[in-house]
Amino acid sequence: MAHVLGFQEIDQSQVAIVGGKGAHLGELSRIDGVSVPAGYCVTTEAFRRAVSAVPSLADLLTQLSHLDPNDREAVGALSAKVREAVAAIAVPGDLAAEITGRDEAVAYAVRSSATAEDSPTASFAGQHDTYLNVVGPESVLDHIRLCWASLFTDRAVTYRLRNGFDQRRVTMAVVVQRMVVPDVSGILFTADPVTSNRRITSVESSFGLGEALVSGLVNADIHKVRDGEIVDRTIATKQLAIRATPEGGTRQEAISPESQRQPALTDAQVLRLAQVGRQIEAHFGRPQDIEWCLADGEFQIVQSRPITTLFPIPPTDDQDNHVYVSVGHQQMMTDAMKPLGLAFWQMTTPRPMAEAGSRLFVDVTQILAAPASREAYLSIIEADPLIKDAMQTVLDRDGFLPPPPENNSPTLGSGGVSVPMIDPDPAIVDELIAHSQASLAAVKRDIRTKSGPDLFDFILEDFPELRRVLFDPRSHQVFMTAMDAAHWLNKQMREWLGEDNAADVLTQSVPHNITSEMGLALLDVADVIRPFPEVVAFLRDVEDDGFLDSLTGLAGGSEARDAILDYLDKYGARCVGEIDITRTRWSERPSSLVPVILGNVDNFEPGASRRRFEQGLQEAQQEEQRLLGLLRDLPDGEEKAAETKLMIDRLRTFIGYREYPKYGLVCRYLVYKQALMAEADRLVRDGVLHDREDIFYLRFQELHEISRTGKADERLIRERKEQFSVDQALTPPRVLTSEGEAINGTYRRDHVPDGALVGLAVSTGTIEGRARVVLDMTDAHLEAGDILVTTFTDPSWSPLFVTISGLVTEVGGMMTHGAVVAREYGLPAVVAVADATRLIQDGQRIRVNGTSGYIEILP
């Protein structure tokens, strides 16, 4: 195998031989009209040959692969040993001759090129070393060894440990490229790195070598180019440049005061460079991050890599502009969903959905284009100010949306039509719940006999019944009545009494709220377990899901087991991210509940469930009497009080039911999933699939076809797994355009304390306490009075709400799960707080103002 390859001998298929940088330079060299400084790659085979001469390295790399990435001291010590051994390698004479005899340039840039870097799925930019202006053959060899050693810097080793790359399998190629001594250099992004807009090219430039810009020593000029025009420019004060020295290496050079504010590039040069960028992007088929330099009036491209942080754009079959709204932000599930989960949710909901980054989006372009439907839609999303603000950003742009259609009527279904409120009658809710339970019982009974293709036919035939129950017009009328009553109460109490958020306290301890009942029921489970020390001690060491069967041998174990099983029988269909049918349910992993049960055992006295409910009920009744008393003292007071009493009754009778349709849906999902997993086990037994969870990476129809034919596409499953792994790291925007622009919206609010984090007030009151930043419910170790800070909550988080004193989330709206349950439990809550889990540190003392919608970090 070759040890040295010229750029013209290299293409994109040779990443394993020449690394990411080398493969990209080979491809760049093949593009007509793109100038790339000549050079060659010292291949991974040369690295392997040199390393194999040092037997002790194999053992060191094995040790390195088993380190904890968080153990910085161990990583640092062992990495240093490996680097020292690699840097001391003696390059064999024939290999040295092959390397240094390839080119006769005076000076070179010597760059590392690891086999995993600059790939579409991972960007290792800056993880390995680069050396500029390396003069002379011996110096080139020395710096090649240093590049090999840089494969094992602390940061590179830690990066690989965190991202699952095996230290023993990574190899290093090295790029040796003729040194260009530029007048100007910089970086070109073919998509705006701030907004992700694919139509905008961003050109960053500074005098001298690009190292000054990359290392942050100078601010760059920034030009934004769109459709061949410069649409924005920022000219920086550039006080120094890095220049090559004749003897090798580089030095800093001060820029004369009169030149510091001069643009590094002319407008014509910016536009020419932007064209080159688009040409390179077209070749690679995706947005690029390009390093360039300008020497003797000619642009030279020294590197190009994919931009891996951009959120994908939903595919379309036209070139029109589109506006998409995130489904995940409305469903409190912004995580990536596996293909089977995406398919089931699309089959569940009647509105067509677009996909991007393993998330779902609704195309609202036509809704926004028509004034009537636009007004109706904006009124619906009023509860989420960030989405509304993001939408307004798009609406304010002339010419982005298509002209209004001739039929200018609302296209939102019932969402655009006023729903008349109904009188408070608990029998309506009881009837809806009974219908849902009967329908669920029927599908449980009938699915038992189905397998193979008949199972898939059965599920398809059952979906109309699922949608009938989920979208029952009476259900919609019930919770719309409750929401309208809450809106009326907040509006009128503010107008008549000057009271803000009056409905919040009135929703405490309402009937029929399956989600808040779920949290209280786990307190009852703790009451059963608490009297048995042997059971409590056993649960503290639980690590797997077979613990339930082991309980029966302990004093009180049978009682504990029965209590947990009864709980799972009713609530076991729930889990984090429950709208994704592929997520592991509590009934499938009951150990996930153990930390919460133990927290309840430790933090509460017996009977806490009943007391908690009674306290909330009493506070709601007292608030009702207080408001009605104040109203009766007003002009027309009796009339105002009577109208308010009706609204309070509507609110309390119906608001709890809002959580039930989703509960019925996830229970049905579990029925489907259990049958599908049995089918997956059959396919594994028959050798069609390797693993039962392979079905998660297939669409419903694809899985149906595999069940029918007994043939599966292993390559497709593998590619789907790899893509899902990539998409998991992406953060979906609230609003996305067809230009790739990710818009998250901003709050436009005055009278917020300096330094406060702003969000949406969803549950009134102010509370101070210790912030507990929790990203995974199973890692939650809460004490009474803690304030929960997390990305989002869905119903599976409800058992934690009985412990906490307040709630902060990054995602949410006025009527989303966390807000509803926080109000019912009387917890001050602020949601939709951008970057809350990053800006608030675990253990910090914070103040949550759930009335005005902000969080203060306290000393």
For the annotated catalytic residues, the residue numbers are: 817
Torsion sign over Cα 686, 692, 694, 700 = positive
> 356: closest CA among 312, 324, 316?
312
Torsion sign over Cα 669, 673, 674, 679 = positive
Q: What's 255-272 look like in SS3?
A: CCHHHCCCCCCCHHHHHH
**601 vs 529: CA distance, rounded Å:** 8
**591 vs 546: CA distance, rounded Å:** 8
Q: How many separate helices (H) and strands (E) can be counted in the chain? A: 31, 26
Structure tokens at 690: 């390797």
Structure tokens at 723: 């893509």
> Is the distance from CB of 11 to CB of 42 less than 8 angstroms?
no
Strand residues in 733-828 grouped as ranges (E): 735-737, 742-743, 757-758, 760-763, 766-773, 787-790, 806-809
Q: 190: which DSSP letter?
A: S
Distances in Å between the alpha carbon of 58 and those of 48, 62, 288, 567?
11, 6, 36, 52
Helix (H) or strand (E) holding 306: strand 298-306
Residue written as tokens 């109309």? 464
339-348 and 660-685 helices cross at what angle (nearest 10)? 140
**652 vs 485: CA distance, rounded Å:** 9
> Is the distance from CB of 174 to CB of 110 less than 8 angstroms?
yes
CB atoms within 10 A of CB 452: 14
> 655: closest CA among 355, 491, 421?
421
Q: 208: which DSSP letter?
A: S
Rg (CA), the chain: 31
| List of residues 6+ apart from 645 with CB closer than 8 A | 624, 628
| List of residues 6+ apart from 460 with CB closer than 8 A | none
**641 vs 60: CA distance, rounded Å:** 79
**492 vs 624: CA distance, rounded Å:** 14
Q: Coil, helix or strand for 528?
A: helix
CB atoms within 10 A of CB 86: 23
- Pairing type for strands 298-306 and 288-295 reads antiparallel
Helix (H) or strand (E) holding 290: strand 288-295
First to last CA, the chain: 63
Q: What is the DSSP string of 685-698?
A: HTTS-SSGGGGGGS
